[in-house]
Amino acid sequence: MEPTAHVSKTALPGVGTRYDLTTEAGRHLSVVVHQDGRRILSFHDPEDDDACKDATALSPHEATALSELLTPDPVAHLRQHLEIDLVTEHIPVGRRSPYVGRTLGATQARTRTGASIVAVLRRTDAFPSPSPAFRFALGDTLVVVGTREGVDAVAELIAGG
């Protein structure tokens, strides 16, 4: 089991919240998240919590970019060995579609195109992972994932082409 880092949280009344982390190398990092959204990243002396060695302010977009850099990508190693160009598109079920009122299974979309209908959006509802018995309605939007060719084939199929 991989070791986990311990982060402590301290409320700073009138300011925001401070998060502290001591690294395995003994460095003390703090991030102060201000109530207005600003963030201050600082390094402290582990022997004297009040002795700040260095600090820098991060704008919201800088904090987001830094968090993305620091967050491990659990599938990065797979991408190095495998090139899959998947696309996701929203495909409307229009008036001319032969599948209005018919089931997902009737389309045989995955078998015919290799692409998958992974969700259906209907007005304010979403239906993730619809079953083959799911019945399409006029105005539905299909969320389709597959290769460019497969997704285009589903669009043509649903449009009635």
Domain parsing of the chain, residue ranges: 7-71, 87-159
Residue 99 burial by CB count (10 A; 0-12/13-18/19+): exposed, middle or buried? buried
Q: What is the pLDDT of residue 63?
A: 80
Looking at residue 137, its amino acid is A
Q: What is the DSSP letter of 135?
A: B
Alpha carbons 88 and 23: distance in angstroms, whole number: 39
Which tens digits make up the pLDDT trace of 83-132?
667 899 999 999 999 999 999 999 999 999 999 999 999 998 999 999 99
Task: Give domain 87-159's CATH number out of 3.40.50.2300, 3.90.226.10, 3.30.70.1450, 3.40.50.1820.
Answer: 3.30.70.1450
The more confidently predicted of residues 49 and 14 is 14
Q: Per-residue confidence at 79, pLDDT binned at 50, 70, 90?
A: low
